[in-house]
Amino acid sequence: MNKKAIATLLAGCLFTSSACFAELNAAEQSYIDRLIKGGPSTLQEVGQSLFNASVTNPEVLDVAAQVLLEKYPLAGNERDTVDASAWLCRALGNSGNNRYKAVLDQVADDKSVHRRLRGHCEKASKQLAKGATSSYVAGTVNLELLRNPPPPPPPPAPTAKGKKNSKQAAAKPAAAPAVAPAPAAAAAPAPTAGAPKTVDLSLIRVGMSQQEVNDLLGPPTNQSQRMTGKQWQPFNYGARDLQRMMYLYKGVGRVEFSLKSAYEGVFRVITVTPNPNESGYP
């Protein structure tokens, strides 16, 4: 079986059962959870993160494409939904995967869609090459199944005993189980003061927001924040990189953020520096 056939089978597995998503890392699973459950503001945040972190995993982007197809007809002139759909378009276009060109063209060509959304989707579509061999087809991802996965199957019934054994079991009353004394609960070891936090910096990508890092790694051992010289540049009209923030994880490393734009108000990752000798102090 060639690689393309294997990839097709894996994709089918991933989107017919929520259990298949176990292969995704924590960041990718977080994207999918928020895509299938979030409202307009959450979808906009996820779209921005997918765009800024340059996510290319088709298992995540297929869900984003299906959510876009579900949400954009309902956008109308509602600003939040229009913006959320536009960021999903930008994320799909930024992936460089022409699998999503047909989806973007569908939105861009729909005259009932807000012109701002059509413009973003048209621009995103132009980033992708023509002639996709496996274009995304609406319905490939079952959002309803992802949102409401079926309950796990019941445990198998105990095997039936033979007639002779069943009669003997019926004749003899079951003995009352002996009550064993409850074992003494082991005292939980006290946390060691200043012990390194258990964090995985490999989950963090450039472009992730501060909130995403908090969700994935937890609070840092320490953090610092400073202004940059761009605060006083008169022609910095985008108000970009006015502040920097540093997360320090003792014994693990550092994550540096930049205030992408004062108008957006979100700190995003610009560097990740693993260092097992990190002291945790600025």
Q: Give the per-residue pLDDT at 69.
A: 96
CB 203 within 8 A of CB 26: yes
**126 vs 238, more confident:** 126
* Residues 48 and 128 reside in one and the same domain: yes
Using left for φ > 0, alpha for ψ between -120 and 50, and beta otherwise, residue 96 falls in left
Domain count within the chain: 2
Shared-domain flag, residues 129 and 206: no
Asked, for residue 185, whether it belongs to a domain, the answer is no
Q: 40-52 vs 26-37: helix axis angle to the nearest 10?
A: 150
Phi, psi for residue 267 in degrees, rounded to 5: -85, 135
Q: Is 70 exceeded by the pLDDT of residue 209?
A: yes
Residue 282 covered by a domain: no
Interatomic CA distance for residues 153 and 21, integer angstroms: 18
Residues 6 or more apart from 127 whose CB is under 8 A from it?
93, 94, 96
- Residue 162's pLDDT band, with cuts at 50, 70 and 90, is low
Please determine, for residue 22, whether its predicted confidence score (pLDDT) is greater than 70: no
Co-location of 63 and 141 in the same domain: yes
Q: CB–CB of 35/67 below 8 Å?
A: yes
pTM: 0.68
Residues 118 and 208 in one domain: no
pLDDT > 60? residue 191: no
Query: What is the amino acid identity at position 154?
Result: P
Question: Is the same domain home to 9 and 143?
Answer: yes
Task: Verify that 124 and 232 share a domain, yes or no.
Answer: no
Q: Tell the residue number behind the tokens 């928020």, with chain if given.
A: 34
pLDDT tens-digit map of 237-251: 778 888 999 999 999
Query: In this structure, are residues 218 and 241 in contact, taking their beta carbons and an 8 Å threshold?
Result: no
Can you tell me the distance from the alpha carbon of 94 to that of 181, in angstroms, rounded to the nearest whole number?
62
* Domain identity same for 142 and 232: no
Question: Does 155 fall in a domain?
Answer: no
Q: For the chain, what is the mean pLDDT?
A: 82
* Mean pLDDT of all residues in 189-217: 77
Tell me if 73 is assigned to some domain. Answer: yes
Residue 10 and residue 48: Cα distance in Å, rounded? 27
Enclosing domain of residue 228 = 201-274
In a domain, 160, yes or no: no
Whether 91 and 223 map to the same domain: the answer is: no
Distances in Å between the Cα of 11 and the Cα atoms of 4, 58, 59, 60, 209 are 11, 9, 7, 11, 28
Tokens 């459950």 belong to residue: 37
The answer to the question of residue 163 being in a domain is no
Residue 49 lies in a domain: yes
Query: How many other C-beta atoms can be found within 10 angstroms of the C-beta atom of residue 150?
Result: 8
Q: Let me know if residue 157 belongs to a domain.
A: no
How far, in Å, CA of 121 to CA of 108, rounded? 5
**Predicted local distance difference test score (pLDDT) of residue 117:** 95
Rounded CA-CA distance 239/264 in Å is 9
Dump pLDDT digits (tens) for 53-102. Answer: 999 999 999 999 999 999 999 888 889 999 999 999 999 999 999 999 99
